Amino acid sequence: MTGSPRKSGSVGNTKKRPPVTYFLQDKIVLSVDDQVIIRKMIKNFLSQLGVNPLNIREADDGDAALAALAEIKGTIGLILLDWNMPKMKGIDVLKAIRKNPDISKTPVLMVTAETHEEQIVLAVENGIDSYLIKPFTASDLEEKILNIFDPPLYARLIGEAEEMIEAEEYDKAIVTLEGVLKEKLDSAGARLLLGLAHKRMGDSVSARKWYSEAAQKNPHYLKALTTLADFLLETGEPEEALKPLIQADKISPLGADRKVTIGKVFLDRGYPDKASPFFLEATRLEPAKNEEIANACLERGEAELATQYLNQSVAAKMKERALTPEETASYIDKYNQAGIKFRKDGEWQKAILAYRSALDVDPTNPAIHFNMGKAYAQGNKNREAHAFFEKALKMNLASEEPDNELSKIIEAEMKSL
């Protein structure tokens, strides 16, 4: 398996390990699975391991899990999370947990029948602490829990160094991490934290050195690759960032966010043709990415790509429900931006296509009808232009709050034809 969980396993531990209850005493354990029989089995296993049954809570889907986490009073000690569930998949629950500062550091054990390496890697990348494959025994569950809470010494030292960095005790963290490297010569975790410490201290040269070493010595470790890429993007080196980004994408091809980032970098370098395959794959994985990609294309002056992804975003939303007034206004504004860019570039026919898409969203918008007329006028299609100007004027005058200035502009345009 490529990648590794946030906390290491028990490799190297020779001491007798404490029981599970030592780590979970008086703490809440949340078991999330859509199958009642699995939740019962997990509860029985946890009880066998000494966990108080009264401290074991259950949820049958992702929405219920997040609701339970918001309501639970007391300390959440562990979350056991299934992958395939109705309403919200386990990976999406995991992402929500890691984004919530109140519970972001709560250990999460993925308990699932999914064995595809790509999915395991995706879970690792999004901060899973460990991964338990169904079916399993109470001993299997015990081992995974202890691996989370009782890692080897070097892993504990890395955790302590991370806390030192957060406390701005950079010199102490560096000494601790250099000690780790004497025992674990290839430790990517130690190198990444050394990079972070130097970055926080304002030493970008040393930070880059440690981040690069972490990626070079561990070319299949996603966090090393993505951290290096993020650093290079932050320091204004997008071309250098592409190599670790693409390498990470090969290791974890289910990461839609990274595909969008790669596409943006290609756009910034002036290669929309190279950006397109990554954008398309991102939207296949997560259709909601259409709007983000459209915005990115608009920001970079790529009106044609922006229109394509706006169309896909609108179609996906309208398939499920009607657009809200806020969504309608937002899409109209974006189509209008694309149309204006086309007209500035002399591509009036493409502008018309963008405006037609806008009229599919809001067929009574006078401003879009006016801009459609402007596009036709640019192409010397005066009859069509006059027709759209006339519609725009009528719609504006019929609206609850007519725009007098717009009426004057439309009338002037009609006279000029």
* Separation between Cα atoms, residue 304 and residue 341, nearest integer Å: 9
Choose between 199 and 9: higher pLDDT.
199
Q: What fold is seen in the domain 152-218?
A: 1.25.40
- CB of 218 closer than 8 Å to CB of 186: yes
Single-letter residue type at 251: I
CATH code of 20-149, in short, is: 3.40.50.2300
Q: Can you tell me the mean pLDDT for 63-89?
A: 90
- pLDDT interval class at 121 (50, 70, 90): confident
Domains 20-149 and 152-218 are alike in CATH topology: no
pLDDT digits (tens, 9 = 90+) for 11-49: 344 457 889 999 998 899 999 999 999 999 999 999 999
Q: Can you tell me the mean pLDDT for 62-72?
A: 91
pLDDT of amino acid 15 = 59
CB-based contacts of 167-174 (< 8 A; 24+ apart in sequence): 168/200, 170/197, 170/198, 170/200, 170/201, 173/197, 174/198
User: Where in the chain are the domains?
Assistant: 20-149, 152-218, 364-417
* Residue of 61, 103, 56, 101 whose CA lies nearest to 81: 61
**The token pair that represents 315 in the structure block:** 């179609």
| Mean pLDDT, all residues of the chain | 91
- Please state, as a whole number, how many other Cβ atoms lie within 10 Å of the Cβ of residue 346: 11
